[in-house]
Structure 1
Amino acid sequence: MSSTFTYPSGGITFQSPFNKGQKRLFLGFCAFWLFIALLELGQDYLSTMLNGNAFMIGESLSYKLFWLLFIPFSLVLIYGYKKAENLVSGPLLYITGFLIVSASTIIHLTVFSVILFGISNLIHEEPLTLVFLIYEKLSTRLYMALSIYFMLSVLYVMFKNRRSEQDQKSGQQTYSSTLTVKNGRRTVLVEVTDIRWIGSDGAYLDIHTESKKHVILDSLKDIINRLPDNFKRIHKSTIVNIDHISELKSRGNGDYDVIMKDGSVLRLSRNYSKALKGLFL
């Protein structure tokens, strides 16, 4: 869950995009690039002292911005990957990933060159030209930036896959084999495997089993999170147990009739057809 901060004076609430674990990871990521920048700064200082030259700390610091720029552009890289994952899949996703890495590298070096150009105009009487700086950075640091962004992409994919596996295992462990249904003063435990489908009727849900219909006060959005993966939402008002589906019949307009094994006919909306893609479609 993300952190929330409230300012008492204005009643303004700010919600952090990071949870505690992600915040520690991000701070560690920032600290790493700051350490690399300071390490190279120290190397420059030792080099100038050994060679008997004057140490220009301002100029040296400006070149260390190359490392610090990995912080914001890594976030841009991740944002690009998340957008791409929603739009493309398969081999096309790998091609898009390569383009995102390449674009992040070029933009990084271009922004770095523009910053150096601005600093050069402030501290030098004869500043370096922007074209020269862009050419120099592309010729000397392109391979380095490209390699780093490629490694960051690999780490992001590995981390994402690991989190997905952990979430899947965690989700499987939280599923209950029964649902608690209150009928007046009585409490009934309904076996999840017996549920054929669930329909929404306003604030209430109709849970259909082989022998009976149970009515509970709940929402489809909440109850589907407590059900295993074989329960799919096929309509804004319907959840179905795919183990009890017999066949699908197209309506010719993108919607389908879902024929259940008990003879019931439900509607699969085109907006929810992705739920059964690869299973029946």
Structure 2
Amino acid sequence: MSNLKQFYPSFRLLPSGGLFSAAHKKYFIWFCAFWVFIAVLEFGQDYISSVLQDNTFRIGESLSYKLFWPLFIPFFIALDYGLAKADEALSGVWYVCALILQTVVITFIHLLVFSLILFGVSILIHDNPMTLLFLLYEKLSSRLYIALSIYSTLSVLSVFLKSRRSREGVQAKVQPKTITVKNGRSAVLVEIADIKWISSDGGYLDIHTDNQKHVILDSLKNIIQTLPENFKRIHKSTIVNIARIKKLQSRGNGDYDVILDDDRELRLSRNYTKELRGNLL
């Protein structure tokens, strides 16, 4: 598996990390399961149709036709790998051309391999097997638009997610570790990780850290834009560092008491519970 990782280090449809990353392996499993599920549905449809029409149901032949769907798994991995390589070497119009070309080529290869599989099955189970040329023509006329639409959608989705992760990576890299707190003519650098909560007091803000309180002239709306994602608005007059929250206690009316790691209590208004949704709620 280590050799496979070196050969294909990124599966860009996934949120981040490598194809066999422990954190995102489940996404690849779901991706594979989806195409197998589509094949099973179509197989079941064939069976029901044969029963209703009182026709002979050939399991082997039906299964071979359903391989059209699982083939999206290896061929999209190949396409995504090609797009990653093109992204490293090309940009602008040339990259778009490479994306279109690779999508079209993978589509035709998919249909060719699918036709070859059906040709082999036809030789095994039929006295007068269908010709490869006939099967290829049939698949190009009946499934070309399906395969091309799916690969085009997956390609665009892969590029979009890769672009979004790149932007998130850049934002994470430039995220400051300190903020400058000005008090009159003096200025102090405060470690962002030391900030527990920030409260609004009229036109001023009180920045509470482990050791002291800093008073600055600013607004919550403005300062939260300079803080990392772990700082959330919990009240119209309060921002909290969720990394410093020990627990939440419901008040029974939609509001919560926020208990910090130093046992300080803050109010979480029901109007701001969505800010903590997925983190603590």
Q: Choose which of 97, 100, 103 in structure 2 pairs with 1:101.
A: 103
> What do residues 127-173 of structure 1 show as CA deviations (whole Å, max 9, x unaligned)?
11111111111111101100000000111011111211222222223
Where in structure 1 do 4 or more consecutive aligned residues deviate above 6 Å? none
Q: RCO greater where, 1 or 2, for CA within 8 Å and sep 6 or more?
A: 2
Structure 1: which amino acid aligns with 2:114? F
Superposition deviation, residue 124 in structure 1: 1.0
Q: Which of 90, 93, 103 is the equivalent residue of 2:92?
A: 90
Residue 110 of structure 1 aligns to a residue whose secondary structure is helix
Asked if structure 1 preserves the Cα contact closer than 8 Å seen for 2:65 and 2:118, the reply is yes
Match for 2:73: what amino acid? I
**TM-score for the superposition, normalised by structure 2:** 0.55
- Report the CA distance between 1:96 and its aligned residue: 1.0
| Equivalent residue runs for 1:1-281 within 5 Å | 17-173=19-175
Give the alignment's Cα RMSD to 1 decimal.
Answer: 2.0
Q: Is the 8 A contact 2:119 2:130 kept in 1?
A: yes
Give aligned pairs, total. 164
Find the counterpart in structure 2 of residue 236 from structure 1.
none
- Tell me the distance in 1 between the aligned counterparts of 2:95 and 2:74: 23
5+ residue gaps, structure 1, are: 3-15, 178-281
CA contact (8 A) 2:39 2:70 kept: yes
Separation in 1, partners of 2:19, 2:68: 26
Distance across 2 between alignment mates of 1:152 and 1:104: 12
Give me the whole-angstrom Cα distance separating, in 1, the residues matched to 2:38 and 2:172.
37
Within 1, Cα distance between the matches of 2:133 and 2:140?
11
2-structure distance, mates of 1:17, 1:156: 13
Q: Residues of 2 paired with 1:22 and 1:119: CA distance? A: 36
- Amino acid in structure 2 at the alignment position of 1:149: Y
Residue identity in the other structure for 1:59:
E
Q: Structure 2 CA distance, aligned partners of 1:17 and 1:161?
A: 18
Distance in 1 of aligned mates of 2:99 and 2:133: 28
- SS of structure 2 residue aligned to 1:49: helix
Q: What is the distance in 2 between the residues matched to 1:156 and 1:52? A: 44
Matched residues in 2 for 1:80 and 1:104: separation?
10
Structure 2 stretches of 5 or more lacking a match?
3-17, 179-281
**8 A contact 2:46–2:62 mirrored in 1:** yes
1:80-112 superposed Cα distances (whole Å, 9 cap, x missing partner) = 101111221101111111000000000000000
TM-score, normalising length: structure 1: 0.55
Structure 1 residues 22-64: Cα deviation after superposition (integer angstroms, max 9, x where no partner): 3111100000000000000011111111111111111000000
Identity in percent: 55
For residues 49 and 17 of structure 1, what CA distance do their matches in structure 2 show? Answer: 41
Give the Cα–Cα distance (whole angstroms) in 2 for the partners of residues 142 and 163 of structure 1. 31
Aligned residues of 2:19 and 2:28 also touching (Cα < 8 A): no
